[in-house]
Structure 1
């Protein structure tokens, strides 16, 4: 997969993605954040200075939040819904239900207003 497609998958807000792409990319972002949290806690447990790991954790968390919003918007586009509804992914207690719903809800068959097919950038918006 070319770097431009990976960048679009995690950071672009146009187009559509399938259930599988949404789930796998979301899990990857969660694993990255948990890894940095684990390293940060491990360093603090042995009494070391974990400032570099705290910084990396904070950075990974911010990148993950952006990526989750982009992934959610594209998944909603596949359902022919506006991407702004991805804000539900940031509401505590509702975020888990929204994530599961986006993982199991079938997308729109064929083209919709957000793109011709899934797992590709959509048309340019004015």
Structure 2
């Protein structure tokens, strides 16, 4: 995978993404958030390290929210659905069910209005 494809995966809104790519990218974001939170809890209270890890966590949190929306939109595109339904990923309790559904159910076989193939921006 090239650098441009990684950027598209986490920040692009066009095209489609497969179940595996959606799941793995989502887990990577969750692991990175958990790691920065873990490091923040280990840092002595009021120390410079504590401030750096807190800032790192919040920066990563906002990047992850944006990336989660981008991933959700592209995964919905794989079903031939509009990306606005990605809002369901931010409704408590519904978000867990929506994430699991997007990881389990296959998308459209073949081309649809959002692209000819999965894991690529729309041509």
C-alpha deviation, 1:93, in angstroms: 1.2
Q: Distance in 2 between matches of 1:47 and 1:61?
A: 21
How far did residue 47 of structure 1 move? 3.7
Normalising by structure 2, report the TM-score: 0.95
Displacement of 1:2:
1.2
Structure 1, unaligned runs of 5 or more? none
CA distance in 2, matches of 1:80, 1:47: 49
CA distance in 1, matches of 2:79, 2:30: 23
The CA deviation string for residues 22-73 of structure 1, in whole angstroms up to 9 with x for no partner, is 0000000000000000001111xx4452111110000000010001000000
**What is the distance in 2 between the residues matched to 1:118 and 1:57?**
31
The corresponding residue for 1:80 is 80
The SS at the match of 1:99 is: helix
Give the aligned length: 121
Q: Does residue 8 of the first structure (1) align with residue 25 of the second (2)?
A: no
Residue 29 of structure 1 corresponds to which residue in structure 2?
29
After TM superposition, what 4+ stretches of structure 1 lie above 4 angstroms from structure 2? none
Structure 2: unaligned runs, 5 residues or longer: none
Partner of 1:92: 92
Map 1:47-126 → 2, pairs under 5 A: 47-49=45-47, 50-123=50-123
RMSD: 0.9
